[in-house]
A and B are shown apart, each in its own frame.
Chain A
């Protein structure tokens, strides 16, 4: 209504051509291949090896790597449809981890192996340490897809990134899983020699695996959240009781609208964080970045939305959504798992809260508008 001067920056988040191509191909692949049968088979203990082959053929694991390093040179925004699709279709693959590991390895000037790669942040989840002469000692737990991964990328907070071969006698593994049955294993390193090490400098990023890990989980959560909403709206429009579809009842509408609001917030927060992630990779050493703030906001919003959405999606589905036969649980079990991983919403909220309290009433608004307290 207001007559406004057009600003060229208004629509700068319109998807690039590469983003649309990536979205089309990954969505087609997962829609065809990640069937309820594949997911049930995964739940029964069979890894989705055929699916991984197809993902490899599309070049997805290396999508974030520079073209010189053998990747697609896509930006975080451009690969975001892949992360969303992993969540939307519950793809049971070490894909987001391998994508991030490949990016970090190539940034550190290290060779990127072809097999699945997992991620460990020293100082989080265990007592692992990296010695000056390149040996790993100690334990790391909740390591995603360790059994399926030949390699692990290990980051410390001193700006170093190491690659370690997990198939050696000094590494032992105890199998574990998250609520969705995805591998979350314990790795024991007894003076394990690393294969390579390099400096990893990303402006203003202290814990690269932890921070980007939270970003990829937030994006996957958004995909799973959208799936839970589509399933709940679809079911509400189809299930009839008292002579009409239940989606006509205000009680159902109100819940789904509230769920959509929380999901809209999570989606916005991840979009902003993805944009920051693009910028931070272009930034010079010493530049200030809002990435840590934006990722914290995204993981809090996505985690909170997961809590609300799982409850509402199940409530709307009634008893059928509680069965193994129905597909809702593939989504909700992942929501309950991923909201915990790479820092739960309360852990990230605590980081934000401490910074906000330090900024105080006087500094809060300035911090919010700069997206950094």
Chain B
């Protein structure tokens, strides 16, 4: 049980003042941004908007100044994130670079890649994607088959990656691959993380359209791609450990419970407060929002204290996805059959009904997360 303990985290007045500033900025910057675009939440990408955030100093907020950061607290960053997401701002372009690639470089390549690349991430100019899954490798990440073999001054990479969000617009891909031989007795050995320049010869990106016909995902083919020694992140062979640290950052943020927020807001506007079916159901959801916000914030507090909250992060993501996925079904329950096709509610519902299945797949499937939680409970 200890492993699951999350303590409430209080925000100070300075952080709340920043919230007001962000809220004002967002209200102005997105004043004509329509509901069906807000529905995309952190799936929506607008590189121009990302650069604007960079100008405001709201990217790389916690990073040291020498890496282009602003040396603010993790909780100040948290407040900026939650305000952006609650408004449905299009943050996807910079999201991965700012959330996990920058911190990864800072930790594992502090003298080479971090000073070189992080300032441009903090400006919202340099976009990253992550190459983890492969055609035959999903949840079982340790069995990646993409390999790098040593060559003069660097590595030659061959293989392919799949479900790579944003690969078509990104500059770099943090790639998990095999540099050592496969060892069945230690499946996590021999894995490394390399940074691949998406414009390097031998890199091919092919779109995968989701069921809505939209293009976020890609397949990435790597054919004798040369990666210089400098672009190895950390030590060859330490890839698995590095990925583990990254996942706590990936799993606990406010994006793990806020993805369907626009649909909830639309339902509040459609609802009749005298109808107790409406108020009870929407009230249950309000309670879930309130508690998930506290849990997510609590994990942010743990990260800020330097803990490694891998299990609580898995728990928050699992609970958050349950909330996110319940909303399209609730909208169906309350407003199905009476909703007008093409109405604002309908447009938002249309998008979220068809993207919600991915919320318990991306960033670790529900089954994987629950396995981690079970281990934390002392099972296995």
Contact = CB atoms under 8 A, between A and B. Distances in A.
Do the two shown chains form a genuine complex with each other? yes
A291 interface: no
A3 B268 contact: no
A253 B379 contact: yes
B377 A368 contact: no
Contacts of A226: 1
Contacts of B9: 9-10
A326 interface: no
A120 B21 CA distance: 46
B245 A1 contact: yes
B52 interface: no
A81 B4 CA distance: 18
A135 interface: no
A361 B269 contact: yes
A323 interface: no
A256 B374 contact: yes
A258 B291 contact: no
A86 B301 CA distance: 30
Contacts of A271: 7-8
B283 A349 contact: yes
Nearest to A254: B370
Interface string A1-43: 1111111011111100000000000000000000000000000
Interface string B9-23: 111100000010001
Nearest to A261: B319
A229 B1 contact: yes
B328 interface: no
B75 A7 contact: yes
A360 B8 contact: no
Contacts of B266: 361
A345 interface: yes
A350 B298 contact: no
A3 B371 CA distance: 29
A368 B4 contact: no
Given A230-B1, A257-B377, A301 B268 contact: no
Nearest to A358: B273
B298 A257 contact: no
A14 B77 CA distance: 23
A4 B286 contact: no
A295 to B, nearest CB: 11
Most buried by A among B87, B276, B379: B379
Interface stretch (B40-48, B66-74, B181-189): B66-74
Interface of B: 1, 4-12, 19, 23, 62-64, 71-75, 77, 82, 86-87, 103-104, 106-107, 245-246, 248-249, 261, 264-266, 268-269, 271-273, 276, 278-284, 286-295, 298, 301, 303-306, 312, 315, 318-319, 322, 367, 369-371, 373-374, 376-380
8 contacts: A14-B7, A258-B318, A265-B292, A266-B291, A268-B291, A301-B288, A353-B286, A361-B269
